[in-house]
Structure 1
Amino acid sequence: MRRWKSERVRVLLLSTLATTLVAGACVAPLKLARDDSDVVLSRQLLAAPNPSQKGSFAVKSLYYGSGTDKQRAVYRDSVTLKTAVVNGAKFASAPDPKQAQIRKKYWGFDFTKLPVNGRVWYPDAPGPFPLVLVVHGNHDMKQFSDPGYQYLGELLASRGYIVASVDENFLNGNIRGENDARGWMLLKHLQSWKRFNDSTGSPLQGKVDMHNIALMGHSRGGEAVTVAGAFNRLAYYPDDATVKFDFNFDIKSLVAIAPVDGQYRPADKPTPVANYNYLLMHGSHDGDVSTFNGLAQYERIRFTDGKPWFKSAVFVYRANHGQWNTTWGSLDGGPRSARSLDTRGFLSQADQRKFAEVYIAAFLDATLRGKSEYLPMFRDHRVVGQWLPKTMYTTRFQESGFRTAADFEEDVDVTSGSVRGIALSSDSVAVWKESPVPFRARGSTQAHNAVTIGWNNRIAGDDTTKLGKPASFAMQVSDSLRTSWNVGASSSLVFSLTPTDAKPGPRAAARDTTKKADSLSKSAAKKPAPKKPAPKDVKPDTVAVDLSIEVTDAAGRSASLPLSAYGVVRRPLESYVYRRAGRDKQRFANVYEIVLQTYAIPLADFTRATPGFDPARITHVRWRFDRSVAGTIILDNIGFSNMRPEFTAQTIGAAR
C-alpha cells in the first residue's frame, strides 16, 4: 500500500510539473515600451504645493443610511444620519425572476426600496466645504466596493473637502443596463446632502458648500457621473417621461476613472454632457475595461454657455483597472484572472494611487476652490514631472476658449474645415484621408473622425539617399475668421496628434517631360520588368518622429518651431494585457490604444523665434514633415484658443 501511494504521489508530481512547464511555455516574455520618463518628467516648473500631500485639517468620519441594512453592519449599526429609501424600479431591474429572488433574499430589499448609504470623511472645522461624491463600479456584490476610496477621502478631507463614498453595491453583480440607475442614485444622494446641510442638529449643518459640488466615479461609476450630469439638468427621465426630475444642483466638476461608455444610452443616443469641468483617466494595462472608452465621452463634452470650463484626459502607461480602488487590487477579473492577466509590468499600487491623488486633488482645487496655479498641469503634465510616478503619460486638453477650425466631422470634402473660412491642402504626401479613429477593440471606434497624413520624402530609385521637397499638410485661415475669433499674440495654436508605425514607400521620381515617350529604344521598351521579390514581414518603424510647425502671416513672413519642443511625439504605446503569448493579438485589433496627444503652441513663441511675424495676421499653418524622412500621423481637433492666462502661466515650450 505504501509503495502504491508513493508511486501515485510521483505520478501526480510529474503531472503537475508537466502542466506547469506547458503553461510556462505559453507565457509571453514581459514586453514593455521603452520608458522615457527620466527625460520627460525630469523637471518641475509649477510653483505650487504638491496636491497629494495631506492638508492642515483634522479628519472626521461618519456613516449615513437607512439604518436597517441586512448585510452592511456599518449602514445598520453605525449610521449617524438617517435617510429614506428610494424607488429605483424605473431605472434598474434584475435580469430574470430567479435573479430577482436571489438578490432580494441576500439584500432584504428589491429595486423599489434602494437605500441611500454613504461613508463620509470631512474636515473637523466649521466650513462650508465643497462636496465630492465618489462611486464605485461593477464588482461582486458581496465584495463591497465603497471602502476602496478611503485613501482619496482622507486626503481630500484633510485639504478641505467633504467626501462621501457612495454605496451602490446592490446594483452590482449579475445585472446589466443599470447605469442610468447609478447616475440617478448620485442625484438622490445630493438631495439627502441638502437636507444634512439644512437640518438643525445635523453634525454637517452648514458645513456643506452646495454651490461647489463634484461627482467622481470609477468603471461603471465613471459613466454614471456623466449620466448624473445629464440628468441633473433635465426635467424628465429620457426613457420614461412620467418620471419627473427636479435636481439642478450646482455640480461644477466630473471625474471619470477608467469609465465604460454607452452602457446606458438615453433615448438610445450617446449621453450628451455640456458645461462641466471634466477629468478623465485610464490605464494602458486595464484588464477589465481594456479599451479607453472614456475618450468617446471626452469628445462629446461641450462648452456652450461662455463660462470658463475645461476638460483633460490622461492615459497612464502600466496602470490597471482595479488598483484605483484598494479593495479591488491588481486582478481586474477577480481571482480567476490570476492565470490569464499579465500583472508583471504594472505600476505599484502606491504609484498608481499617487497619480490619482496628484491629479484629482489638483483638479478639485482648480475647479472647486479657484486654485488656478494648478491649471497648467492639465494642459501639459510635464510641468509637474517631479510629482508624478515615473511612467509615461499621454494627455488630451481643451478649454472653453477653444475655437474649432477642423475636426473632420462636417462633410466628406477633405479640403474643407469645420467652419467657413478654413481650407485644407497638402503637398507631396503619400496618404491623405479622413476616417474614424479606431479603438484597440475589434470593430470599435472612438466615434469621431481625424485626418491621417503619410509621407516619404525619399525619391524612389537606385540612389536611396536622394530626398525631395519635404511633404506638408496646410490649413489656410481667412481674414474674416481670424478677426472674428480675435486671433493674435495672446492666442495659441492647439491640435491633437499622434504618429503611427505606418511608413509609406518612397515617392515616385518626377518624370522628365523633355523626352518623348517614343524615343525609348525598342529593346528597352520590350525588356520585361524585373520580378518583385516576395514581400517580407515589415517590422514596425521605431525611428523617432518629429516635424515642424510653420506659420505664415499676410505679409509672407514665416516662422517655424519643432513640435517636439511642445510635447513628446510618441507613437502609441504597446501594452499586453494577457500572459499567454499571442492572446492580445487574437483579442484586440491592435496591441496599443491610439491616444492623440494635445499640443498647445502660443503664437507669441513664433514671434520670438522670428521677429516680425505678426500673429494677428496669420494666414497659414503648416505641418511640415522636414524632421523625419518618412512616417504617418493622425491629426485632429485643430483650432485656436484665447485661453485664460492661468493656463499659460507656464508655457508648454518651457518644459522642453
Structure 2
Amino acid sequence: MALMPRPVPRAALVMTALLTAACSQALKFSKDDSATVLSYQTITAPNPSLPGAFKVRTMYYGSGTDKQRKEFKDSVTYKTKPVDVSPYATIAPAQAADRKKYWGFDLKAAPINGRVWYPDGAGPFPLVLVVHGNHNPEDYSDPGYDYLGKLLASRGFILASLDENWINGALRGENDGRAWMMLKHLESWKRFNDSTAGPMSHKVDLTRIALMGHSRGGEAAAVAAAFNTLQYYPDDAKQKFSFNFAIKSVVAIAPVDAQYMPTSQYTPLENVNYLLLHGSHDGDVATAVGMRQYERLRFTDGQPHFKSMFFMYRANHGQWNTVWQNKDNGPRSGRTLDLRTLVPIEDQRTEGKLVISAFLEATLNGKSEYLPMFRDHRTAGHWFPKTMYTTRFQESGYRAVAEYEGDIDLASGAPGVTIDSDSLASWKENVIPFRGRGTDDQRTNAAWIGWNNRIAGPDTLKMGRPASYTLTLSDSLVKAWKITANGAVYLSIAPTKEKPSPRALPRDTTTRDTSKAAVAARAKATADSIKKVPKPPKSNPAADTLPIDFTVELVDADGHVARMPLTRYAPVRRPLEVRLYRRAGRDEQRFQNLFEYVPQTFVLPLADFATSTPDFKPERLKSIRLRFDRTFAGTIILDDVGINPAIDPKYVAAPVRP
C-alpha cells in the first residue's frame, strides 16, 4: 500500500526545476485551422453540452459494509450483495493479502458499488453506466465523472459511476473481470427498477442502456457488450452467462485494446452504436488503439446503428476524469510529460460533454437532430472548443466498395469491383501503422497512393495529365445494391508527409536514330552523366506541407461525369504533429512517427453530384474516380471506400457549404 512521502528539501526542488527546464524542448504544434473549420454552425437544435430542464438528484448503492468508502457504507440507498469475480481476474497471493487487509474483502466478495446522478421526474429514464480504468486504487476514480453525471441527469438520463477501484493497481489481464462486473451492476439495476419502493422503482427504462468506460474501462465496456449476448464465458464454459440486456450504445474514452482477448482473439463486437474519443497527446495510452475496436464493429442485424470517432488534438488521457486531471504518468507527470502542450482542462471536458451527450441523445432518446455532427463535426462548429478534430463515421447502410483486406490483388476491391489507375507515382496496399515503435499496428490494410503531376526537368511549371485512381462497379453490383439519388459515397483518407518525385518525361520513340552508332553514343553519354552528376539528397517527407485536395468524380453508365472537391465535405490535413515529452529527442526515441494516422471520413451525398451535373444519373453509377488535380503532388492512405445506396436523410441534414 502507499507510503507517506518524505519531505524534499527546497534546494533540491529548485535544482530539479532548473535541470528540467534546461532539457525542455521548444513547443511545436501543427498549424491550427480551427478558426476556419469550426466557423460553421448548421445544426439548429439546442447545445447538448448545456444543462437540461431536470433537477438533479444523487444516491449511492453498495455493500453497506465498505471499510474504506463511507458513501458505500453509511449512505447507500440500496444494499447490494457481493459477487465472486475471481474466475475473471487474478491477483498474486502476496498482493492479494495486502489488498484484503486494506479493502476488507477479496475478489471472491467483490462489491457492487455505484454513485448515481438521476433526474427528478416520473421517468422511465435511459440508463448509462460508466466505469473508470486503472489508476492508484487509493485515489478513487469513480467521482471523476461528476461533471457528466450532473449534465446527463439534467437532460433526462440516469448515470451510475461504478466503483472498481479495488481491481486497480498492478494487475494485468483483468479487463474481462471489469466487463463482467458491469453486467452484474445491470442485474442490480433490474432489481432496483422492479422493487416496489425506493427512488428507482419503475423509473429505469431497461430497453435503453448505454455502457461507457475510460482507459481499461473503455475496453471493458466493449467486452461487456460482447459478453452480454453469450451463453458462456469464452475462456471457461463452466461460467454460464444469461444477461441479454438491451444495450444500445457503447462509449469508449481513450480505451486500451486487447489487454483481454477472448479465446486468444481480438474482441468482436456487433450491432451496437459506438463512440470513440481519444486525444493526440495521451501520455498513458499513447497510440489510439481503440481504432482497432472501431474497425472490428460490424452491423449485421439490419437495424439502424452508427459508429463514430473524435480524435482531439492536444487532448490527453486523464482530463476527461476530474480525479486524474493532467497526470497521465502519475503525480510526477510534469517531470517527463510536457503539460504545456495540453488543451485547457475545461475545453477537454466540454468536448466530452458535447460529444457524449449528443451521442446518447441520438441513440437512446432518438434525437436525430444531432446525427449530422457525427458525419461532419463542422455542422456543430460553434459548440466545439477551438482545437483540431479528426473524425470517423460509418452507419449500418454502408456497403463496402474497397476495404483492402483478404487478397493481394491491387486491381480488385470488394466482389464486383475493379480498380485501375493512371499516371500514379506509387500505388500499393499495406497495413496502417500506429505511431509507436515495434510491430503494433491498426490491424487494417489500406491503399497507399502517391502522385506528382509535375514533369521532371528545368521547367518547374510543366505539368502532365492529372493522375487518377478509379474504382469501377459491375452492372450486377449496381443492380443488386439499388443505388438511388439519395445515396452517398464514403471515403476514409489520411494524407501522409511523403512527396513523390516529379514524373519522368514520356519518351518520344518516333524520331529516334536507331543505328548502332547512335545507340552506342547515347549509352556513353548516359554513363558519363551518371559519373558527373552527384546523387540527389534523400527526400525529406516532413518538408512537404502543401495542403492536400483533389476532385472526386462520379461517372454513370452513360459516361456522364459529375465532380466535387473533396474539401467540401471535411478538412483534409497533413498528419498532426505530437510531442509528449519535455526532453528534446525523447519523442523521436520512443515513437517511429511524431503523429498518428487517423483516416478522416468523408460522406459525399450523390444528390450533390446530381445537382451540379443534371445529366448524371446516380442510380446508374459506374465509377468512383479520385482525380489528383487540385494539389500537384502528395500521398494519401485510402481506406473504407463504400456506398450507402439510400442513406437516411437525417445523417446528411444540415450540410456545410464552404
Instruction: Provide closer, same or farther for how the CA distance between residues 17 and 178 of structure 1 changes in structure 2, counting only shifts above 3 A.
Output: closer
Alignment partner of 1:30 is 2:34: no
Tell me, in whole angstroms, the C-alpha distance in 1 between the residues paired with 2:482 and 2:539. 51
Q: Which residue of 2 aligns with 1:64?
A: 61
Deviates more, 1:482-491 or 1:284-293: 482-491
AA in 1 matched with 2:381 = G
| Cross-structure match for 1:439 | 434
Tell me the CA shift for residue 524 of structure 1. 4.7
Once the two structures are superposed, the pairs formed by residues 304-453 of structure 1 within 5 Å of their partners are 304-419=300-415, 421-442=416-437, 443-453=439-449
* 1:74 aligned partner: 71
Shift of 1:532: 2.2
Q: Displacement, 1:18?
A: 6.8
1:292 Cα deviation (Å)? 0.3
Give the count of matched residue pairs.
641
Q: Per the alignment, do residues 468 and 229 of structure 1 end up closer, same or farther by CA in structure 2, a change over 3 Å counting?
A: same
In the TM superposition, residue 76 of structure 1 has moved relative to its aligned partner by: 0.7
Aligned counterparts of 1:45 and 1:56: Cα–Cα separation in 2: 24
In the alignment, the residues of structure 2 paired with residue 484 and residue 646 of structure 1 have an alpha-carbon distance, to the nearest angstrom, of: 24
Confirm whether residue 190 of structure 1 aligns to residue 186 of structure 2.
Answer: yes
What is the 5 A alignment of 1:122-521?
122-419=118-415, 421-442=416-437, 443-514=439-510, 515-518=512-515, 520=518
| TM-fit CA distance, 1:334 | 1.1
For structure 1, which runs of at least 5 residues remain unmatched after alignment? 1-11
Superposed displacement of residue 201, structure 1: 1.3
8 Å contact from structure 2 (residues 341, 580) kept in 1:
no
> What SS does the aligned partner of 2:325 have?
coil
Distance 1:303 1:522, change over 3 A: closer
CA distance 1:297–1:164, shift in 2 (3 Å): same
Q: 2:580 aligns with which of 563, 573, 577?
A: 577
- Please state whether the residue corresponding to 2:650 is helix, strand or coil: helix
What is residue 8 of structure 1 aligned with on the other side? Answer: none
Equivalent position to 1:650, from 644, 648, 654: 654
Q: After superposing the two structures, state which structure 1 stretch, 463-472 or 619-628, moved more.
A: 463-472
Q: Distance in 1 between matches of 2:270 and 2:345?
A: 33
Q: Percent identity?
A: 57
Superposition deviation, residue 22 in structure 1: 4.3
- Structure 1 residue aligned with 2:533: 531
Counterpart position of 1:5: none
Q: Is the 8 A contact 2:131 2:214 kept in 1?
A: yes
For the Cα contact (< 8 Å) 1:375–1:647, is it kept in 2?
Answer: yes
The 1:397/1:425 distance shift into structure 2, 3 A limit, reads same
Q: Secondary structure, in 3 states, of the residue corresponding to 2:332?
A: helix
The secondary structure found in structure 2 opposite 1:344 is helix
CA deviation map 1:522-558 (0-9, x unaligned):
5553231233245256242011111000111111111
Provide the rounded CA distance (Å) in 2 between the counterparts of 1:22 and 1:200.
64
Decide whether the 8 Å contact of 2:24 with 2:582 is kept in 1.
yes
Report the Cα distance in structure 2 between the residues aligned to 1:132 and 1:122, rounded to whole angstroms. 10
Question: Per-residue deviation at 1:312?
Answer: 0.4
The 1:18–1:222 alpha-carbon spacing in structure 2 relative to 1, beyond 3 Å, is closer
CA distance in 1, matches of 2:99, 2:357: 37
Displacement of 1:655 after TM fit? 4.0
Query: d(CA) in 1 for partners of 2:327 and 2:414?
Result: 44
Specify the code of the residue in structure 2 equivalent to 1:137.
G
Q: 1:526-565 to 2 correspondence within 5 Å?
A: 526-527=524-525, 528-529=528-529, 530-533=532-535, 535=537, 538=540, 539-565=542-568
Following TM superposition, by how much is the alpha carbon of 1:444 offset from its aligned partner in structure 2, in angstroms? 1.4
- 1:382-406: per-residue Cα shift (whole Å, max 9, x none)? 0000000000000000000000110
- Equivalent AA in structure 2 for residue 583 of structure 1: R
CA distance in 2, matches of 1:639, 1:491: 11
From 609, 612, 623, the counterpart of 2:612: 609
Q: Name the amino acid aligned to 1:45.
A: T
Amino acid at match of 1:29: A
Q: Secondary structure at the match of 2:421?
A: strand
Question: Could you tell me how far apart the structure 2 residues matched to 1:436 and 1:540 are?
Answer: 24
CA gap of 1:266–1:625, structure 2 versus 1, over 3 A, is same
AA partner of residue 373 (structure 1): E
The residue that corresponds to 2:7 in the other structure is none
Residue of structure 1 equivalent to 2:5: none
> Is 2:455–2:504's contact at 8 Å kept on the other side of the alignment?
yes
> Which one-letter code corresponds to 2:261 in the other structure?
R
Could you tell me how far 1:410 is from its partner in structure 2? 2.1
Which segment drifts farther, 276-285 or 525-534? Answer: 525-534
C-alpha contact 2:497 2:545 (8 A) present in aligned 1 = yes
Structure-1 separation of matches of 2:514 and 2:335: 67
Mark the CA change 1:355 to 1:18 in structure 2 (over 3 Å): closer, same or farther. Answer: closer
Query: Structure 1: which amino acid aligns with 2:534?
Result: K
- Structure 1 residue 509 displacement after superposition: 1.2
C-alpha distance in 2 between matches for 1:39 and 1:185: 45
Give the structure-1-normalised TM-score. Answer: 0.96
Paired with 2:153 and 2:180, the residues of 1 have a C-alpha distance of 25
Cα distance in 2 for partners of 1:117, 1:21 equals 45
Shift of 1:441: 1.1
Paired residue for 1:7?
A: none
Structure 2 distance, partners of 1:505, 1:627, is 17
Of 616, 628, 632 in structure 1, the residue corresponding to residue 631 of structure 2 is 628
Q: Deviations over 1:453-502 (max 9, x none)?
A: 00111111232221111111000011111121111210001110011110
Residues 417/533 of structure 1: CA separation in 2 closer, same or farther (3 Å cut) = closer
Using a 3 Å threshold, how does the CA distance of structure 1 residues 244 and 602 change in structure 2: closer, same or farther?
same
How far has the Cα of 1:191 moved from its partner?
0.1
Partner of 1:9: none
**1:614-646 Cα distance to aligned partner (Å, 9 max, x none):** 111111111000111110000000010122111
1:129–1:161 Cα contact (<8 Å) kept: yes
Q: Is the 8 A contact 2:20 2:335 kept in 1?
A: no
Per the normalisation by structure 2, the TM-score is 0.95
Q: How many Å separate the matches in 1 of 2:73 and 2:469?
A: 64
Q: Tell me the CA shift for residue 506 of structure 1.
A: 0.9
Residue 314 of structure 2 contacts residue 341 of structure 2 at CA under 8 Å; is this kept in 1? yes
Against the structure 1 CA distance between its residues 196 and 567, is the aligned structure 2 distance closer, same or farther, given a 3 Å change threshold? Answer: same
Write the distance in 1 (CA, Å) between the matches of 2:509 and 2:599. 42
Would you identify which runs of 4 or more consecutive aligned residues in structure 1 move more than 4 Å? 15-22, 521-524
Aligned-residue offset at 1:194: 0.1
Contact 2:306-2:393 within 8 A present in 1 as well: yes
Partner Cα distance (2:172, 2:135) in 1: 12
Partners of 2:16 and 2:97 lie apart in 1 by 41
C-alpha distance in structure 2 between counterparts of 1:552 and 1:286, whole Å: 43
